Amino acid sequence: MITVGVAGAGSIGAGLIRLLHTSPAARNLRLKTVLVRDAAKQRPELPAGTPLTVCPAELTDDPQIDVVVELLGGVDEPFGIVSRALSQGKAVVTANKNLLAERGPEIFALAAERRLPLGYEASVCAGMPIIRTLQEALRVDRITALEGIVNGTSNYLLTRMSEERASYAQCLADAQRLGLAEPDPAYDVSGQDAACKAGILATLAFGAYVDCHRIPTSGIGSIALEDVHQAEAMGYRIKLVAALGRPASGRVAAEVAAVLLPRHHPLASIRMECNAVRIESEGLGETLLAGRGAGPEPTSVSLLADLLDIAEGRARIPTAEHPFIASVADFEDRQAVASRYYLRLAVADRPGTLAQVAGFFASQGISLASVLQPEVPDLAGSSLVPLILTTHTTDRRRLDLVLATLAAAGWGRSVVLRIREH
């Protein structure tokens, strides 16, 4: 029997606490204390009699508590609680990707020094066992590339926009109601959540700490229904993809961005809040993992599995060779990789515009693959109309020069997305 303290009783914390009460797998786990910020708040989602405290030391310094589960969100306060718990000899389980992405090197160093287990399966892709896969099954293979859909909220939005023509705002409200989105959903749709997870995955896959703030990141905020449907008409699906590679240089090439994936690509069929990660490694070749990547239930399942590993003495204890501690990764400029592009521009609807735009691209040696100016029935007072273009393969630097010229002409770029060919 091990005794557990839980920090945080939001949607994930409440999900775990319910599972600790109901799952037969949790029979050897005793929940002692739950840390909350507001003890007076009504919490009908928690089992009656759940013992609450507002004092972190009642978790971190209670000699009866063996494991602290950190589910608060944020970085500074969780860092204080996790480091105190470790220094008091307690194992830690966390679902906090921000904590690991930002302060992971310090936390893993402390866990290694104290020889204590640190479970974090739930920090990336919720219920999908990607951390275990990288740390256990694939640890003897050399991973050369990894790409994934790692933000459930964005994938949920893009799927519903595609399948139901539902509005972005309606889908986002539903994602919040279902407990998929972060407290500030801008963190999901801006790509930052995916970049944070990508930093953790790249660290584990490539064996050196990857600072998520150095990953070029963009999100899905500018994508409109017309982009989703236009991409589909061309044989693609728009997905927010974290792409990570380890080229021959040994550096890390990383990018988080919405891209057009060919319809037959393994990540193109991942729907709603599901996540998927595709790994390329020298021995195994291609490995694909898919599962529920957001929401209280799948996250709680991963948390409980980490707790059971600790209770049964099977949890991994970090050493000084742990990727978060061993070294820091250098980056290569992945944005320099040549690609095809999809663009939706906003241009003036007057004679000569198309010729002028085509001239801008020609001046940079960029060949256009397709051009579409859809009919706009009601301009609603705007003098600009959409112009949808795809290019043949070009480097991003040339494209940026074209976009700068367009901006100087007073025209806008609404969307610029890579087109992936495989």
Give the Cα separation of 44 and 318 in Å (integer): 38
Buried b / exposed e along 371-402 (16+ C-beta atoms within 10 A): eebeeeeeeeeeebbbbbbbbeebebebbeeb
Between 125 and 419, whose beta carbon lies closer to ligand HSE? 125
Distance between CA atoms of 193 and 143, rounded to whole angstroms? Answer: 23
**Nearer to ligand HSE (CB atom), residue 192 or residue 339:** 192
Active site (annotated) includes residue 197:
yes
Shortest gap between Cβ of 151 and ligand HSE (angstroms)? 4
Among 258, 257, 253, residue whose Cα is nearest residue 214: 253
Which of the residues 32, 41, 97, 197 is marked catalytic?
197
Nearest residue (CB) to ligand HSE, 257 versus 325: 257
Q: How far is the CB of 399 from ligand HSE (least distance, A)?
A: 30
List of residues 6+ apart from 86 with CB closer than 8 A: 92, 107, 110, 111, 114, 116, 118
Smallest distance, Å, CB 147 to ligand HSE?
A: 16
Which is closer to ligand HSE, CB of 126 or CB of 146?
126
CB of 120 to ligand HSE, least distance (A): 12
CB of 131 to ligand HSE, least distance (A): 13
Minimum Å gap between C-beta 264 and ligand HSE is 25
Residue 82 or residue 294: which is nearer to ligand HSE going by CB? 294
Least CB distance from residue 420 to ligand HSE, whole Å?
A: 21
Q: Which two three-digit tokens encode residue 130?
A: 């990607």
CA dist., res. 253 & res. 205, Å (int): 12
Distance between CA atoms of residues 398 and 40, nearest Å: 59
Q: Of the two residues 157 and 329, which places its CB atom closer to ligand HSE in the complex? A: 157
The contact set with ligand HSE (CB under 6 A) reads 126, 151-153, 180-182, 188, 193, 293-294
Instruction: Pick the closer one to ligand HSE by CB: 193 or 227.
Output: 193
Taking the C-alpha atoms of residue 350 and residue 348, their distance in angstroms, rounded to an integer, is: 6
Q: How far is the CB of 205 from ligand HSE (least distance, A)?
A: 18
Active-site positions read 197
